[in-house]
Amino acid sequence: MRNLRVKGLFAVAAAALVALLCAGCATQGDGVAQGVAQPTPSSASTFVQEHYNFNTPDFLMADDDIFTYEKLEEGKIPLVVGKTGTVDLQAVNDRFEELYPQYQLIPQVIVGGVDNKALANKLAAGCAPDVLVSAYDQLLTDDLSDLFVDLSGHPSADGYLLSSLQSFTEGGSLYYLPGPSAAYGIVYNKTMFDEHGWSVPKTYDEFVELCARIEQETNGEVDAFNPNAKYPGVFCDPVEAFAYSEVLGDIADASWLSAFKSGEATFAGHMEPLFEAFGKLVERGVVVDADWSQSSTKRMNDFVAGKIAMINLPRLLDEKDISFEASIMPYPGATEGADYLVSLPSYALSCPKQAIAPSTEKQKAIDDYLTFLGSPEAQELFVGESALFPSVKGLSSDTAKQAASDEARPAVQQGRIFQRENFSGNVTPPLAAVISEQCRAMVNGQVDAAGACLAVDAYCEAWRAGQLEQEEPAIAQVVEDMTTLEVAEYVCDKMRDTSGADVALIPVNGSLRSIISPLFVGDVTANTVTDLKLRGLVTTDRLLTVDMTGTQLRECLDHPRDGSDGEDMNCVFAFSGLRATVAPWMPLGQRYRDVTLADGSELDPHATYNVAFWAGTVTPEHAKDAQPASDEEFVPWLTAAIEADGELAPANDARRTLVWE
């Protein structure tokens, strides 16, 4: 085992889109949590104890991993704030550090993974941040008492609106504290609508006809509506909303829902209208099978480029990112006046249990952060000018009502806002994934509405009988724990194996297109590899190679990119084929020192080196004339490489030396 080196919304502006947001630790006296069952050090591996004990700054300065690119300030207590999804708390965090100068926040991007299993496995191993801020569609729902501290007794919980806490309360326990809620619907290209003379539909049938008209009048060059089918939770927002008034909108429906969650009712005989409504989009060819494989990034880029007329992405869009006017409409229903908006908490705040229980000063930092995020000041900062509904007491929702678009305002004022139902109860599992699967089966002509309902019921029965708990087959084994940096170095080695390149580069712990996950001893499954995918890659992105001079390669190291045409990412490249001293806390452009080839020989500034990288991770200037080195996308490529190796372990070579100064 390696030793650690220790060195003492609903958000719509009147003029343009400001669209969508993606989603007991009580103390006494000394600030130590009372009655909180934290794991003991012996319950976590030595690796976890060494690498995920954030009680002191020393553990953020490892010789084999990089947790932060911001230099730790002497005398400050570091507070590691993990984040899943696209939640932006920058303004809130900046204010927290102003009010509490004794703390330094350390942001950590965490992958949720397939069905959020990567996040669950990481927390279960004790590899937990001090505080976790989760997008709503990446919340864990199982084994919460084992993974999180019960916050029902925390003083900050008293400041939240009871209505905002109800959906997060489980058996009297509270494991999540919700952020402000967005009430959102369909974001559409208003400029395009005006140019073509298209009107906002008042009923669902009008919506279906509009979709068909859009695709016909644009000769198929514009997709009318893309429901983000790759992501079941987001996809189910419109699916439920279109039929909400028919299946979930009244007291009788509420009685059915209660009975269903108790195992006393079935989908069949009640939920057919939901699938029948979706079937109308299928019949007109609006939704196609390819929608289930398109990434959010690709879909958003297409919307911004005018290739999609309407989307339902729960994520904030900045006005500067679009060249047209956009607005928001409610999801139309069966009849006029039955249109609805979907309410979605912008984030959920939790306190994961630690492999090593927080120290007194660290627990005080956690408590202060929870308290601040539950304050009106913090929520006002997060909301800004957008139309979010607060989740804490002492704030008005008038701004949210007034900022709604003209199309959405009646639904807001009349309270036609609902939170998507996941159907999870004591004897029923969350159903977004299986509903999405059945909708896809309808697209492919494999089932009708009645059959889809029967399939959902069969799924619930199988879940109750424990028949769905099947272990994934292993394709390889991790034989020694690997830090995130070591995983990135392994991927670089595989990139060189595939391409034959002299050097391979991949960003590590950046915002996008980066390796951001460690690997622990045990099985590697297909889902494990999927969880390693570089966020932001699209289906057309490939492993590339290009010739660079030594001078160009040295310049390239200083400019990691996230796939956009914007600024450099605040991170470093992991590498293969080189040796270097890396100083992560220095400014970009000053992080690499003593760069040589892997054998220690000189990196000749005039010689030519073949360099492998994934599309979008280096600057366009350095990627000029790049050629594909593989026909495969990232996940199948890496799956094959790992399966061929059979066993994974750190390289344990001398390729990089980390210095913290």
Mean pLDDT of 63-78: 91
Is residue 50 over pLDDT 90?
A: no
Higher pLDDT pick, 383 / 26: 383
**DSSP bridge pairs for 417:** 341
Given this model, what pLDDT does residue 307 score? Answer: 96
Domains and CATH numbers, the chain: 1-23+35-185+317-332+340-420 (3.40.190.10), 200-311+429-462 (3.40.190.10), 478-658 (3.90.780.10)
Give the tokens for residue 97: 């550090």
**Running DSSP on this structure, what letter comes out for residue 116?**
G
The per-residue pLDDT for range 348-387, each reduced to its tens digit, is: 999 998 877 788 999 999 999 999 999 999 998 887 766 6
This prediction has a pTM of 0.76
The per-residue pLDDT for range 298-325, each reduced to its tens digit, is: 888 899 999 999 998 655 456 667 889 8
Given this model, what pLDDT does residue 406 score? Answer: 83
Kindly report the average pLDDT of the chain as a whole number. 86
35 falls in which pLDDT band (50, 70, 90)? very low
Work out the number of other CB atoms within 10 angstroms of the CB of residue 306: 16
Given this model, what pLDDT does residue 484 score? Answer: 94
Mean pLDDT of 632-653: 97
259 falls in which pLDDT band (50, 70, 90)? very high
Given this model, what pLDDT does residue 101 score? Answer: 97
Q: Which residues of 608-639 are buried (b: 16+ CB within 10 A; e: fewer)?
A: ebbbbbbbbbbbeebbeebeebbeebbbebbb
For residues 386 and 392, give the distance between their C-alpha atoms in angstroms, rounded to a whole number: 16
Give Cβ neighbours of residue 189 (< 8 Å, ≥ 6 apart).
303, 306, 308, 309, 310, 324, 325, 326
The per-residue pLDDT for range 506-524, each reduced to its tens digit, is: 999 998 899 999 999 999 9
Given this model, what pLDDT does residue 1 score? Answer: 31
- By the 8 A CB rule, do 512 and 563 touch? yes
214 falls in which pLDDT band (50, 70, 90)? very high
402 falls in which pLDDT band (50, 70, 90)? low
CA 91 to each of CA 315, 381, 384, 617: distance values in angstroms, whole numbers, following the listed order: 17, 6, 9, 27
Mean pLDDT of 492-503: 98
Is residue 580 over pLDDT 70?
A: yes
Mean pLDDT of 156-162: 91
Given this model, what pLDDT does residue 386 score? Answer: 66
**DSSP-based three-state secondary structure for 368:** helix
Given this model, what pLDDT does residue 29 score? Answer: 32
Is residue 436 over pLDDT 90?
A: yes
Is residue 459 over pLDDT 80?
A: yes
* Choice among 36-45, 63-72, 187-196, 496-505 with the minimum mean pLDDT: 36-45
34 falls in which pLDDT band (50, 70, 90)? very low
